[in-house]
Chain A
Amino acid sequence: NNSYQLSSVPLQILFYVNGIYYIFYFLATLAMIVYKSQVFSYPDDFLAPDLTLLFIMAILEVLRLYLGSKGNLTEEEAPLGLSLVITVGSVILSVYFLVWQTYVLKADVIINAVLLFTYGLESVLQVIAIAAFVS
């Protein structure tokens, strides 16, 4: 029954694309950190936080996409709301990798910009979906 379907199809598509893109982002960032540690002077004090934050970001992303997808499909606002909160954390981490990382290469700037754009779009669609589910 399509008329009673409140789940947002664009949001779901975006979650799916985000998942695939994030796998690419994670592998690319990890590869670039390895490259930087070989080519530049990357002491351990600076390497450890960068790697830790990358893995934390990966875990948060998995959680976020799962909760968001589940909330969208079951039309419940609680998981979707939680996903939105986690999105804020992911945005902060993405900004870290864009601005406060030890070495910010041009490739870093590009992939983080795309990720932030995706997060922004997702946040908007999530808010709309929550509004739709609540009312």
Chain B
Amino acid sequence: PPETRAAARARPRSGPAPVTDVAKLCVCDLLVAQCDVNCCCDPDCSAADFSLFTTCSVPIVTGDSRFCSQKAAIYSLDVEANPPERIFKLIDQVNPSVFCIHATNYEQALSFSSPEMPTAENFDELLEQFGSASFSAEPDSWNMNTDAQNPSDENETYRYEYGVPIQTVDAFLRLPSPVVSSWCSDANPAGFLLNQATKCIRSLSVEKCGNIQAVSMLFYINSSILAVSITVHSIVVQSLNGMRTLLNGSDVLRLPMVLDELCINIVLGVSYHITYTDAGEIIEAAASFVLGAINKEALSIQQSFEISFTQVHTKPVPLSGNPGYVVGLPVRAGFRPQGYPFPIEILFAPLVLNTNKYSQLTILQSTSNQDCLAAQGARTPILFGYNMISGCKLRITAAMKCQPLTQTLLDLLKGQSFPEYVASFGNSQAQDVLNWVPITHLHISEQRIYNIFQSSCQIPISLEMEVKWTKYGSLVNPQARIVNVTATITTTTLKQLPSGRERTIPITSSVVFTDISSPAEPGYKAWPTINAKLPFDFFFPFV
């Protein structure tokens, strides 16, 4: 039975209804929505899975064997057949003993009775009954009234807990992910409040384009999460050369079809966004798609999936720590337009597949071809606690002019919009001015002093950022806090080259995190002071 419980209001919560049908019981079915190995009674296994088993770990499922006659489900593998198949038989098992139970007039005789679930009303009574060191084995109040047990009712709201697979009408909300190898497996259920992002490869060709369900939009929005249906939030179409366009109308369902030897409208990425309430109910589900096209030569595509959860009535702001920075999370930064720091991350739209890097401090990302001028602005966010260094090689020819080159290099090193403030804590809010640290800029020039009269061209060749942080807070749980950020640009003189010659200089960019925490001082509570003051009218007649 699924892990659901009735909403905990006035009615007492009851456990799931007991399953007594031997054909439906399976003790080796441990993985949800996945086939368990050598488990012949698992309903998630297909005939192909059965052909790979060696034995059946659970050969027989019966009720109490003390009964004279009872139903038994027998599972076995027929290894003679090719491929091996599972045999399932439902038989009546007879107990030959003369002391077998023919009938019983006592209902609770041979099954475990479900204990009463404690609620606010019956807690005192249960405590009185069971709270002492021993209690009688079968008190009178243990009546198994089957009316109180309420198996899952479709009209009730479901309360999810962290990690529980999200249920849909037929099974679970699936997020295809790579299992063992990089090929997609469709049996990965999405867990509640587990933000996941997966990428996997699916084999696909133009001939089979209409047949494979997992590349069609319908597969991902077909199953509704119980009462909530999955809506399409946006569709981005990616052309063969990688250019993406956002479609205007996103309510049209685009199914894969063959057009001019291309297969278009195949799903390259899905991003689910689930909205939940603080009671643990899912109230909205939206999916954003990236659709693409493949040509005849393609044999496989890479699909990426992600799922994120937001609480209703809140805006998702990714924190890098609460309150101190967590090692590995990006350093948050922002600008200050007229008056107060205004991190642009508030405009972060969770439903677009590519993240907005302007809310973070970023560093130049080295590319495989180390040419600075060819690397078009690829930047990677700076992660707290991780010293990074990156760079590229700049080929200077005689024809290059100083000023544009300087500007290009500055853009390359600093990025398009270099922030002015860095968040002191991982959860600094835009409104708190004091929680933001300004970035100090320094300028060092490597100047060769042999010819000071020659007008020189200074080009920046390296950007070094030093982030000084300290441990803040209590001794047992120190929080990381950034106190100082310095960005140092080193420039060097660019000597004029004779025409035809070219020179290569390395450009580097680095970030270093330095711990400047002072040793902790234990703080003692102040001694209580004796408040011995005479009342003001003590010397009454004289004062």
Contacts and interface: CB of A to CB of B under 8 A. Distances in A.
Interface of A: 32, 35, 40-41, 43, 46, 99-110
B138 interface: yes
Name the prevailing secondary structure of the B interface residues: loop
A106 B95 CA distance: 10
B48 to A, nearest CB: 45
Interface string B89-120: 00000000111111111101110000000000
A107 B101 CA distance: 9
Contacts of B74: none
Contacts of A46: 106
5 contacts: A35-B99, A40-B110, A99-B103, A104-B102, A107-B98
Nearest to A102: B106
A85 B98 CA distance: 33
Contacts of B138: 41, 43
B68 interface: yes
A103 B98 contact: no
B100 A103 contact: no
B100 A102 contact: no
Nearest to A43: B138
Given A41-B138, A110-B98, A103 B68 contact: no
A127 B99 CA distance: 36
What interface size band does chain B fall in?
10 to 19
Contacts, number: 44
For the complex of A and B, the 6 pairs showing the least CB-CB separation, nearest first, are A104-B103, A104-B102, A43-B138, A107-B98, A102-B106, A105-B99
Contacts of A102: 104-106, 109
Interface of B: 68, 97-106, 108-110, 138
A133 B391 CA distance: 127
Given A103-B101, A103-B104, A105-B102, 16 more contacts: A35-B99, A40-B110, A41-B109, A41-B110, A41-B138, A43-B138, A100-B105, A101-B105, A102-B105, A103-B109, A104-B104, A105-B101, A106-B97, A107-B98, A108-B102, A109-B102
A41 to B, nearest CB: 6
A41 B99 contact: no
A43 to B, nearest CB: 5
Contact of A104 (B97, B98, B101): B101
A40 B109 contact: yes
Given A41-B138, A43-B138, A106 B99 contact: yes
Contacts of B110: 40-41
A13 B109 CA distance: 42
- Which of B68, B97, B98, B102 gathers most chain A CB within 10 Å? B102
Contacts of A40: 109-110
Contacts of B106: 41, 46, 102-103
A102 B105 CA distance: 5
Nearest to B140: A45
Contacts of B102: 104-106, 108-109
Contacts of A32: 99
A126 to B, nearest CB: 30
A32 B101 CA distance: 12
Nearest to A99: B103
A102 B103 CA distance: 8
Nearest to A109: B102
A12 B100 CA distance: 35
A105 B109 contact: no
A105 B101 CA distance: 4
Given A40-B110, A41-B138, A106 B100 contact: yes
Contacts of B108: 41
A42 to B, nearest CB: 8
A110 B99 CA distance: 11
A105 B97 CA distance: 10
Nearest to B138: A43
Nearest to B139: A43
Contacts of B105: 100-104
Contacts of B100: 105-106
Contacts of B109: 40-41, 102-103
A93 to B, nearest CB: 15
A99 B104 CA distance: 9
Contacts of A104: 101-105
Nearest to B108: A41
A16 B104 CA distance: 33
A40 B100 CA distance: 12
Contacts of A106: 68, 97-100, 102
- Which of A32, A35, A46, A106 gathers most chain B CB within 10 Å? A106
A104 B103 CA distance: 5
A104 B138 CA distance: 21
Nearest to B100: A106
Contacts of B99: 32, 35, 105-107
Contacts of A108: 102
A11 to B, nearest CB: 31
A105 B68 CA distance: 8
A119 B15 CA distance: 50
B541 to A, nearest CB: 86
